[in-house]
Structure 1
Amino acid sequence: MFPFKINSFLRMRLCLFIYMLLTIIFIACTSAYSFAISQHGFYKLLKITSLIMPKDYRVCDHKLSLHGTPCQKLFLSYLPQILNDQVVDKLLKTCFRNRSDKNNISRLLNINYVRRNIGNVSCHLQIPRFEKSQHPLTALASFPGSGNSLTREILEQVTGIYTGSIYPDKLAKFTGSHRCPTDGSVFIVKTHSRNVTATRRGCKSMTYSRVIYILRNQFDSVIAEFNRQQLGKTTYASMNEFKSTKWERFVKAYAMSWQMSVLFWLKRYTGSLYVLVYENLISNIMFEIYELSKFINIPMSLKSLYCISINNYDTYFRKYKPKWLVREILYNNTLKADVNKVIKAVLHDLNTNIHISNSLRLYILLQ
């Protein structure tokens, strides 16, 4: 049995030790299994297991999630299916005891909550193509500096179709910008213009059938646009430039432009409209994409929604932000008062929309 000579006493002691070790391992595995199927133990066990197991055997595509809670099991069963209101209701009944208000839907489709319930999932995002079946021409409207480019990339993953623009994209960041926005090859079109018609030189004009408007805090969007005009989308202007009279003139001029943009689309436009609050998109991307996909009538599986949500969009965010580049420092009391006045005026004009009004109230900066 043993490759070396050993007396009978030591042999007996060694066999007894091996037997006791195997017994301990068996008891530990049994206890771990019971612990795993408890409400909170399952993913704790997976986390511990993933640390001690070889990389090739770690959790992948939920293969080790066979004995989870009812909520986890339901999430996994719905992973490849189209996510709709009926599926969401069933998940809410199981995970949140039938509390189907919007706050709980937002909690349910929070990326961290979903990750805890489905484990690690391999993601392969689709490569966008040009339009094949006709969708309604949709404006992706916003005030400059409100995250239009970020939203375009997300929408290209949601729809699988390139997005267009009324502005030619000289940097070739978006392939769809090279085509006429009204030639039928794209259906979502970027615009900062206050115009219900998609218009671009050399292309035929066409009226939008619906509009997605990106609303962002004016204090932040003006800073972003000032940075872009000075240096580009991913860098910062210097402190001296923000202290100059050019910055003060810029804030006052763009405050009025922001007001006109918001009121044009949110008050005067009478067609089909979806307001995407930028801050909500950043804080809970999965829930906001789900709501947006329903508006544009693009069905998505739970897995696709999850994969799009965890994609890396860092190229749209400026890195190494200086500590001084904050609203409270960049806006003196006079500029704060000017911008707050504009926000309050918009808030007054849109007081019938609770969702938008709540966001606008959060934009007001204390002096």
Structure 2
Amino acid sequence: MYFLRVLPIGVSDIKPICDINAKRMLTLKSLQRHESNSDYVSCIRSCASARKTWAMHFDRDHCYCSLDIKLSLLCSNKATDNYWVQTSTGEEIFSVYRTPVAIKNCHMSKRYFPDGKAPPIGIISYPGSGNTWFRHLLEKSTGFYTGSVYAEKELFEHGFFGEMVDSSDGTTFGVKDHNIHGKKRSGNYEKAIILIRNPYDAFVAEFNRKSKGHVGHRNSDDFITTQWTKFVWNSSKRWQQSLKSVIAWEQPKLVIYYDDLIAHTRRTMKTIVTFLGIPPRELDTRLDCLVVDNGGFFRRKKSTSKRHLYTRPMIKRINNFIGSVRVEMLKQNLHTLPPYEMSI
């Protein structure tokens, strides 16, 4: 999977973001050719000097530059089907590089919801399921700040400007709520987005957060302690209870899976914004930009396999809870859980 990133100019081992055939490349807007007889590093430098976001290089005498955001879709596995890069045998294939030049039209503004009339929407998830990262995606997609029932100063300081606002005052579009206590706040929301992540990943993420914040990782020795065992035992039960509670809510609700946000960001966010009923006029441009920058500060870097962190009794317990939630979702005619169970 290719991810777009700003590349350091002058580094000899820069890797291309993707490859594109010549026919597709020639359809791009603002395309500019550089007769540089250059290697790919010189091509990137030339495009950066020309204030272009993308550099495309083939052999020594083919260097093209462009500002076309369509490249962010062509180079992403999260693009819709009609954007897949197709190649033909014998056709010139250009390697695509990202320059440090900002992507045109992607500095989209965000604001509070006007007149304090935001519909009350719950962004419901179990801790560690990616709620904060999802808020980043939602804010970039809609242009409105999201809120929270927790008022975390750290999040506010990193740009979540709806974090410290009273979540009931109608100025934030979507409210983060982990719903740990079941039905207590169900009446606060007209609609709910239920974000679900593989509990094996969610428990590790939340265990990390409790000690290392939103982006840090604990030492491996921390996962062979009684603290970790007790945490898993309690968390697995709460995960089950929380999800069974919220999927029984009568309000309109949309179940979103964390893995779909990663694999199909654009398509999934368009589904969400449509469900919420307030798509911005520039939605397509916002979603295109989102494919380029979907990380956000509070998305923890993925760690290695978590299988070794869980004992057989832990796995048996968590698998049973996954099964019970799956049955409840089927009863509610909701798209059921992916195969989250771990082999024993």
The answer, yes or no, to whether TM exceeds 0.5 is: yes
**How far did 1:227 drift?**
0.7
What value does the CA root-mean-square deviation take over the aligned residues?
3.5
Judge conservation of contact 1:196–1:208 (CA < 8 Å) in 2: no
The aligned residue for residue 366 of structure 1 is: 343
2:293 — aligned with what? Answer: 311
Give 1:209's aligned residue: 190
The answer to whether structure 1 residue 191 and structure 2 residue 177 are counterparts is: yes
1:265-315 residue CA offsets vs partner (Å, 9 max, x unmatched): 11x201110111111101110110110110111325322211122214152
Pairing 1:38-117 to 2, within 5 Å after superposition: 42-43=23-24, 55=47, 56=50, 58-61=65-68, 110=79, 114=83, 116=85
- For 2:297, what is the secondary structure of its paired residue? helix
Q: What's the counterpart of residue 291 of structure 1? A: 271
Equivalence for 1:19: none
For 1:365, the aligned partner's letter is M
Q: Who is 1:8 aligned against?
A: none
Aligned to 1:103: none
Give SS of 2:290's match.
Answer: helix
Aligned to 2:310: 331
Higher strand share goes to which structure?
A: 2
Task: Give yes or no for contact 1:197–1:208 (8 Å, CA) kept in 2.
Answer: no
Match of 2:260 in 1: 280
Q: CA deviation at 1:316?
A: 2.7
How far off is 1:52 after superposition? Answer: 5.7
| TM-score in terms of structure 2 length | 0.70
The alignment's TM-score, normalised by the length of structure 1, stands at 0.66
CA change 1:339–1:154 in 2 (3 A) is: same
Q: Which runs of 5+ in 2 are unaligned?
A: 1-20, 37-45, 51-63, 87-95
Q: Is the 8 A contact 2:119 2:170 kept in 1?
A: no
2:144 is aligned, of 158, 161, 182, to 161
SS at match of 2:162: helix
Could you tell me which residue of structure 1 aligns to residue 327 of structure 2?
348
Q: If you compute each CA radius of gyration, which structure gives the higher value, 1 or 2?
A: 1
**Residues 363 and 187 of structure 1: is their aligned pair in 2 closer, same or farther, counting only changes over 3 Å?**
same
Alpha-carbon distance in structure 1 between the residues aligned to 2:191 and 2:22: 47
Cross-structure match for 1:357: 336
Amino acid aligned to 2:269: I
DSSP-derived class of the 2:335 partner:
helix
1 or 2, which has the higher helix percentage?
1
Residues 198 and 354 of structure 1: CA distance in aligned 2, closer, same or farther (over 3 Å):
closer
The answer to whether residue 141 in structure 2 is matched with residue 141 in structure 1 is no
Q: Distance in 1 between matches of 2:82 and 2:34?
A: 21
Say how many residue pairs are matched: 276
User: Secondary structure of the residue that 1:316 maps to in structure 2?
Assistant: coil
Q: Residues 168 and 178 of structure 1 are in contact (CA less than 8 Å); yes or no, is this contact kept in structure 2?
A: yes
More off after superposition, 288-297 vs 349-358: 349-358
Offset at 1:168? 1.4
1:244 aligns with 2:222: no
Task: Give the Cα–Cα distance (whole angstroms) in 2 for the partners of residues 62 and 329 of structure 1.
Answer: 42
Q: Which residue of 1 aligns with 2:60?
A: none
CA contact (8 A) 2:191 2:253 kept: yes
Which consecutive residues of structure 1, in runs of 5 or more, have no partner in the other structure? 1-39, 66-74, 76-106, 200-205
Asked if structure 2 preserves the Cα contact closer than 8 Å seen for 1:242 and 1:330, the reply is: yes
In structure 2, do the counterparts of structure 1 residues 308 and 62 end up closer, same or farther at CA, with 3 Å as the change threshold? closer
